[in-house]
């Protein structure tokens, strides 16, 4: 069940997302619908985190794996091929999302149930309805304005 098309997050936006979430070395970042792995790779290379990506599309899982191997980050990044609704996300310190408001709404009970206290959720462009963001930022990547919403569990 693919609920969201693949649109990659620009690098400038990823940086702001991970900075706003204050990702620290050794923390675990989950990207739900990880696409080509760019969020995972940035979290590991630039923030010292470890990362888990979950992706439903086989072609993107393969692309992601290729990119992770090219960076030599296979010890730090786990890629799970599957539906993020069915994967346990409780170890996450930070969860990154670039989905849709409707999907965030379906995910919210899972996030509330599984995430630990103090975990941060950072969402590109789409709010988590029913939660109050602790920060919102606009990022211009040279083409358009992106919004980033930060939440704390």
Ligand X SMILES: C[S@@+](CC[C@H](N)C(=O)[O-])C[C@H]1O[C@@H](n2cnc3c(N)ncnc32)[C@H](O)[C@@H]1O
Residues engaged in binding ligand X (CB under 6 A): 2-4, 6-9, 31, 33-35, 38-39, 54-57, 60, 83-85, 98
Cβ atoms 12, 34 nearer than 8 A: no
Q: How far is the CB of 101 from ligand X (least distance, A)?
A: 13
Alpha helices in 38-136 (DSSP H): 38-47, 58-71, 101-114
Query: Whose Cβ is closer to ligand X: residue 3's or residue 153's?
Result: 3
Say if residue 111 is exposed, middle or buried (CB neighbours under 10 Å; 0-12, 13-18, 19+).
buried
Query: Whose Cβ is closer to ligand X: residue 108's or residue 117's?
Result: 108
CA 52/CA 80 separation, integer angstroms: 7
Query: Whose Cβ is closer to ligand X: residue 93's or residue 104's?
Result: 104
Q: How far is the CB of 10 from ligand X (least distance, A)?
A: 8
**Helices 58-71 and 38-47, packing angle to 10 deg:** 20
Q: How far is the CB of 55 from ligand X (least distance, A)?
A: 5
Q: How far is the CB of 54 from ligand X (least distance, A)?
A: 5
Ranked by CB distance to ligand X, the top (closest) residue is 33
Query: Whose Cβ is closer to ligand X: residue 7's or residue 134's?
Result: 7
Alpha carbon 67 to its chain's center = 16
CB-based contacts of 49, cutoff 8 Å, min separation 6: 23, 24, 25, 26, 27, 28, 29, 43, 93, 94
Query: Whose Cβ is closer to ligand X: residue 35's or residue 133's?
Result: 35
């Amino acid at each position: 069940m693919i609920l969201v098309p693949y649109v990659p997050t620009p690098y400038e936006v990823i940086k702001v997302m991970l900075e706003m979430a204050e990702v620290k070395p050794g923390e675990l970042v989950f990207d739900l619908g990880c696409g080509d792995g760019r969020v995972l790779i940035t979290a590991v290379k630039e923030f010292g985190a470890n990362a888990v990506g979950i992706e439903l599309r086989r072609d993107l899982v393969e692309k992601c794996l290729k990119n992770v191997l090219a960076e030599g980050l296979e010890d730090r990044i786990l890629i799970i091929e599957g539906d993020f609704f069915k994967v346990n996300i409780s170890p996450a310190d930070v969860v990154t999302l670039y989905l849709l408001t409707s999907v965030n709404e379906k995910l919210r009970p899972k996030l509330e149930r599984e995430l630990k206290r103090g975990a941060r959720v950072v969402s590109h462009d789409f709010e988590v309805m029913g939660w109050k963001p602790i920060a919102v930022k606009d990022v211009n990547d040279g083409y358009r304005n992106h919004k980033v919403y930060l939440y704390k569990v």
